[in-house]
Amino acid sequence: MESLQDVIHRTWGYDTLRPLQAEAMQAVVDGRDSVVVLPTGGGKSLCFQAPALIMEGTAVVVSPLIALMHDQVDGLVDAGVPAAYVNSTLSPDERRRTANEVRSGRVKLLYLSPERLTTERTLEFLAEVRPSFFAVDEAHCISEWGHDFRPDYRLLSVLKERFPETAVHAYTATATEQVRRDIVRELHLRAPAIHVGSFDRPNLVYRVERRSDRSAQIRAVVERHPDDSGVVYCIRRADVEEVCAQLVEQGHKALPYHAGLADEVRRRNQDAFQRDRAKIIVATVAFGMGIDKSDVRYVVHAGAPKSLESYQQESGRAGRDGLEAECVLFYSDNDFRTWRTLQQDLPPQALAGAMALLQGIEGYCRGVDCRHRALVEYFGQRLAGEKCGACDMCLDEAEFVDDSLQTAQKILSCVVRLRESFGGDYTAQVLVGSKEQRIVEKGHHKLSTFGLLQEHDKRQVRDWIEQLVGQGCLVKGGEYGVLQLTPDGRDVLSGTYSPRLLKAAVRSGRGERGRVRKESKSGKESWEGVDRGLFDALRAWRRTRADERGLPPFIIFGDAVLRDLARYRPSTQEALMQIKGIGQKKRGEYGAELLQAIIAHCRENGLGTDVQEM
Ligand code: ADP
Ligand code: ZN
């Protein structure tokens, strides 16, 4: 029997495994039920695909969406793996043919939707062919606590009843304990091995900015990535239409995606994005699980999402190939109000939960600490090291007010003078010295803190108040958001703790507030030694080949492979074998062409080939 290592090398061209892949595969080979939680891009598919190849029989993979099934099977077949799916897109004839192939033992991986898998007919068929194991992909769909609950997933409890001897393995990127417990319970897993990976995505650069000029701010991100694929998420459909139209007007190839569009239009737009015919998709959260495009280089949120869970999911669609990618969140106070309004009709218990989640994301937006740390800690994990080198805070891009402590003290003492009985708006007005009627009526124009920040704009002061809430110096109480000091707030007043207040977002023409963007470590490394001209040439070649074959380009080769080719510039088959991520079948199929393209480009541009280790 071929070893796992050999099969992975031969088929996928990988020499090393990602964290927990080895452990996850071991559980499959041992036939022990398992739950594997790895972040998006962590490499979950390999955990069941590789063992399926060395085990006897056919592995059955449960997948929630036809689009996902198609991409995975296309990718496998292109790598020379006998894989198939059965779903409504097949004719009865094709279905019969596939069934026969499975019976003959040729198919190593069979993809099915949960509703098809659990029909009596399919169950009987599988009893006959005896699957090597079941792999349940996107397993969080089984939990009401997940963000993609699918009632059909509940039917999967029948697997352990009908196939008590066959192992069931569940895979998800959803981190919460609750979801994990639901998966184990609903699938009736027996003493499963549980592997939970780190939720940090070091290749993603996180940035958060207060929204001032939406169009200009989004444009700035898009123009930092002229030839790359990106996703822009909006809260509402109307925003999708507007942002999309603006991008198109600015000359970018953008398409909209939201639940208000006809199925056909949505499918077409998603397809154009998958196939690199449209570079940008502007979408509501309706655009989600169906995309497994690995080379999304940026995800912009034009408005704050409703929770950090959602943010992790949506931003996580960037950089699945492990290469650097950027996640930018633009928020305004209005976004949080919008979410409160949109969710106000939830039943009381759900409402309380939703409001707590909203506070999580609000804290993230207004926070001034490392974004990677904030995210990972929210999900109950720890981040090693002081500075991540991949967020606006650690890259020192954010500009803080010089005398943050003094400014904060002025604000907090005003809250105290107002007897902790007023909200943010009112407090800001007192601080900037407004002689509004109600202030005069209450005699607050005589307070010592009246007009203490009169040289600043009211919006700016209001913003600092929110930042102090975000940093835990103030809390908002009751229906009217009355400001109250926390113990940390008292430490600020006594000067033993200093918060950091961000400077205002200046409304500049480009919405960039003159910030310097710095490249992250992973960004620098992944481009080191890469000839961009050759990379672009190879990308164009990939696009042509993909079009000919009717496949999304990233299925032929990921960006990581193209960058390595443009870095090491192999000119012989032996040298080509050293490039990670090209398996045997693809080397046979595309190798000669690649070598030709590389040699020609290097000759024309006077570049050396066969670069040794850098
Ligand atoms: P997930 O399903 O966890 O989001 P995927 O299975 O789609 O992640 O894998 C993400 C990317 O990582 C894919 O492009 C895949 O080819 C690549 N990948 C997976 N395992 C490895 C590995 N051991 N070495 C290099 N690349 C890998
Ligand atoms: Zn950081």
pLDDT band at 95 (very low <50, low <70, confident <90, very high): very high
Q: Which is it for strands 229-233 and 280-283: parallel, antiparallel or unpaired?
A: parallel
What is the C-alpha separation between 328 and 351, in angstroms, rounded?
A: 27
Ligand minimally distant from the alpha carbon of residue 197: 1
Query: Closest ligand to 374 CA?
Result: 2
**Closest of 330, 319, 363 to residue 201, by C-alpha:** 319
Asked whether 79 lines ligand 1 (CB < 6 A), one says: no
Ligand 1 atom with the shortest distance to the CA of 294:
14
Check if CATH label 3.30.420.10 holds for domain 404-501.
no
Mean pLDDT of 443-459: 94
Quick one: which ligand is closest to 369's CA?
2
Contact partners, residue 543, CB within 8 Å, separation at least 6:
276, 553
Ligand 1: centre distance to CA 197 (Å): 14
Which of 4, 5, 14 has most ligand 1 atoms within 8 Å of CB, for mutation? Answer: 14
Would you state the pLDDT for residue 27? 97
Query: Distance, CA 294 to ligand 1 centroid (Å)?
Result: 9
pLDDT tens digit sequence for 268-287: 999 999 999 999 999 998 88
Of 103, 59, 112, whose CA–CA distance to 81 is shortest?
59
CA of residue 14 to ligand 1 center, whole Å: 10
CATH architecture observed for domain 2-196 = 3-Layer(aba) Sandwich (3.40)
Mean pLDDT of the chain: 92
Query: Which residue's C-alpha comes closest to atom 19 of ligand 1?
Result: 43
- Count the Cβ atoms, other than its own, within 10 Å of residue 360: 16
- 439 within 8 A of 430, measured Cβ to Cβ: yes
Q: Cα torsion for 339, 340, 343, 348, to the nearest 10°?
A: 150
Q: What are phi and psi of 390, to 5 degrees?
A: -145, 40
Q: Which residues surround ligand 2, an ion (CB under 5 A)?
A: 370, 372, 388, 391, 394
Helix or strand (DSSP H, E) at 193? strand 193-196
Q: What is the pLDDT of residue 193?
A: 97
Segments making up each domain of the chain, as ranges: 2-196, 204-378, 404-501, 529-605
- Quote the pLDDT of residue 314: 92
Asked if the model's pLDDT at residue 513 lies above 60, the reply is no
- The topology (CATH level 3) of 204-378 is Rossmann fold (3.40.50)
Q: What share of the chain is helix, strand, coil (3-state, %, to 5)?
A: 45, 10, 40
Cα 12 from Cα 138, distance rounded (Å): 22
Ligand 1 atom at shortest distance from the alpha carbon of 39: 3
**Residue of the nearest CA to atom 23 in ligand 1?**
17
Average pLDDT over every residue of 61-81? 93
Residue 188 near residue 35, CB atoms below 8 Å? no
CATH 3.40.50.300 fits 529-605, yes or no: no
Nearest residue (by CA) to ligand 1, atom 25, is 14
Given a contact cutoff of 8 angstroms between Cβ atoms, the answer to whether 75 and 554 are in contact is no
Ligand 1 binding pocket mutation candidate from 4, 10, 18, 199 (most atoms within 8 A of CB): 18
CB 533 within 8 Å of CB 558: no
Q: Please count the other Cβ atoms lying within 10 Å of the Cβ belonging to residue 596.
A: 12
pLDDT tens per residue across span 220-232 = 999 999 999 999 9
Closest ligand relative to 383 C-alpha: 2
Question: How many angstroms separate the alpha carbon of residue 44 from the centre of ligand 1?
Answer: 7
Amino acid 1: pLDDT: 56
Q: Which ligand is nearest to the CA of 368?
A: 2
Atom of ligand 1 lying closest to residue 44 CA:
3
Question: pLDDT of 414-428, one tens digit each?
Answer: 999 999 999 999 999
Least confident of 171-185, 200-214, 495-509: 495-509
Residue 518 has pLDDT above 90, yes or no: no
Which amino acid is it at 54? I
Note the helical H segments in 253-299. 263-274
Whether residue 156 contacts residue 187, with contact meaning beta carbons closer than 8 Å, is answered with yes
Whole-number percent of the chain with pLDDT over 70: 97
Distance 47 CA to ligand 1 centre (A): 9
Question: pLDDT per residue over 460-502, tens digit each?
Answer: 899 899 889 988 899 988 878 899 999 999 999 999 999 999 8
Which residue, among 113, 447, 592, has the nearest Cα to 582 in the 3D structure?
A: 592
- Direct distance between the N- and C-terminal alpha carbons of the chain, in angstroms, rounded to an integer: 36
Give yes or no for a contact between 40 and 197, defined as CB atoms under 8 angstroms apart: no
- 385 pLDDT exceeds 60? yes
Per the model's pLDDT, the better-predicted residue between 387 and 165 turns out to be 165
Identical topology for domains 204-378 and 404-501: no
pLDDT more than 90, % of the chain: 77
Question: Is it the case that residue 512 has pLDDT exceeding 50?
Answer: no
Give residue 470 CA to ligand 2 midpoint distance, Å: 17
Query: How many C-beta neighbours within 10 Å does residue 551 have?
Result: 19
For the Cβ of 557 lying below 6 angstroms from any atom of ligand 1, the answer is no
pLDDT at residue 509, rounded to an integer: 36
- Rounded to the nearest angstrom, the distance between the alpha carbon of 199 and the centre of ligand 2 is 14
Taking residues 187-204, what's their average pLDDT? 95
Residue 530, pLDDT above cutoff 80: yes
Please say if the pLDDT value at position 515 is more than 70: no
Find the mean pLDDT for residues 543-564: 93
- Segment 548-569 mean pLDDT: 93
- Testing ligand 1's pocket by substitution, the residue of 36, 294, 580 carrying the most ligand atoms inside 8 A of its CB is 294
The alpha carbon of 375 and the centre of ligand 2 are apart by a number of angstroms equal to 10
- CA 442, CA 426: separation in Å to the nearest integer? 12
Residue 510 scores a pLDDT above 50: no
Q: What is the pLDDT of residue 507?
A: 43
What is the structure's pLDDT at 411? 97
Find the mean pLDDT for residues 12-33.
95
How far away, in angstroms, is 503 Cα from ligand 2 center?
19
Binding site membership of 203 for ligand 1 (Cβ less than 6 Å): no
Q: Is the pLDDT of residue 506 over 70?
A: no
- Contact yes or no for 321/41 (Cβ under 8 A): yes
Pocket-testing residue among 7, 46, 321, 564, ligand 1, by greatest number of atoms within 8 A of Cβ: 46
What per-residue confidence (pLDDT) applies to 299? 97
- Ligand 1 contact, 293 CB (< 6 A): no
Q: Which residues of 111-122 are buried (b: 16+ CB within 10 A; e: fewer)?
A: bbbbbbbbeeeb
Distances (CA, A) of 383 to 200, 201, 372, 377: 8, 11, 8, 8
Distance 386 CA to ligand 2 centre (A): 8
Distance, CA 403 to ligand 2 centroid (Å)? 23
